[in-house]
Amino acid sequence: MSFEGKTIAFIGAGVMGSAIIGGLLKKKLVVPEQIIASDPNEQARQAIASQYGIQVTDDNMEAAKQAQIMVLCVKPQFMGKVLPPFYGEVAHLEMVVSIAAGVTLKTIEEGLANMNVVRAMPNTPAQIGEGISVWTCAPEVGEDQRAQAQQILEAMGQAIYVDDEKYLDMATALSGSGPAYLFLFIEAWIDAGVKMGFSRAIAEALVKQTVSGSTAYLNHTGAHPTVLRNQVTSPGGTTAAGLYELERGGLRTAVADAVWAAYKRSQELGEG
């Protein structure tokens, strides 16, 4: 299924809107003339227009009217303002994709009076084509549109379809917010190196390559993380001493609690 003859409207051209636009253009799924982005923020409009050569507007309706596909990339808190003007005016749209955390298919379908709705949760590595998205859709969404949704999301990395919307709040907590958990851990780890006496530059180099090398090793071997952790952990050695402190500090329960809190927050955002 190609996007030939289709225009895609982006409502909101911030971090994630521009990641999706960048992915679509990089993969040559569309040319810049097939994209229009609407955003009230002049800086955001200028940035995206000069980076990608796409059309921009500050009028959401103008963007929606000329499109067959619309992607909603505004914060969930803005959805209550964004949807009402579209009500009954966007029946022509063949598909509407929302990436807003928590906002349900039902809210968007009822808000737009259009049932062709896809709900997706990407993450920020999407900006370099290394993201992962989880998505689902209303039963009314046709096969061609489902294929297009998969293509749009794959332009940013991997995309996993789920047949139950309940998984979207879970994915939001796990992979959507996930990069922030990892960045916090990396930050703390670098600071620990600086505390011992490394320069920040060397501490950063050591930690960053340890993260990317370990992840590549994990993916390459396909082994369970526990197996690889045990390889590092010599009896009576340094790693065992460090791991003991992480466990004593409650790392596992802190991670589980963090993901659970994000999950609950995603559900709350969906309640409006």
Ligand X SMILES: O=C(O)[C@@H]1CCC=N1
Residues that bind ligand NDP (CB under 6 A): 11-17, 38-41, 44, 60, 73-76, 78, 81-82, 99-101, 121-124, 176
Identity of the residue, 17 or 56, whose beta carbon is nearer to ligand X in the bound complex:
17
Q: How far is the CB of 102 from ligand NDP (least distance, A)?
A: 7
C-alpha to C-alpha distances, 152 to 13, 64, 136, 143, 147, nearest whole angstrom: 16, 17, 13, 14, 9
Nearest to 18 by CA among 42, 43, 37, 41: 37
Indicate whether 38 belongs to the interface with ligand X (CB under 6 A). Answer: no
DSSP character at residue 40? S
How many angstroms separate the CA atoms of 23 and 166, rounded? 27
Indicate whether 172 belongs to the interface with ligand X (CB under 6 A). Answer: yes
**Is 80 known as a binding-site position?**
no
Indicate whether 127 belongs to the interface with ligand X (CB under 6 A). Answer: no
Q: Which helix (H) or strand (E) holds 174?
A: none
How many angstroms separate the CA atoms of 181 and 112, rounded? 34
How many angstroms separate the CA atoms of 46 and 169, rounded? 32
**Is 16 known as a binding-site position?**
yes
C-alpha to C-alpha distances, 4 to 7, 104, 148, nearest whole angstrom: 9, 29, 11
Q: How far is the CB of 208 from ligand NDP (least distance, A)?
A: 20
Identity of the residue, 22 or 102, whose beta carbon is nearer to ligand X in the bound complex:
102
Among 22, 131, 157, 176, binds ligand X (CB under 6 A): 176
**Is 13 known as a binding-site position?**
yes
What residue ranges bind ligand X (CB under 6 A)?
A: 101, 172, 176-177
Residues annotated within the binding site for NADP(+) are 11-16
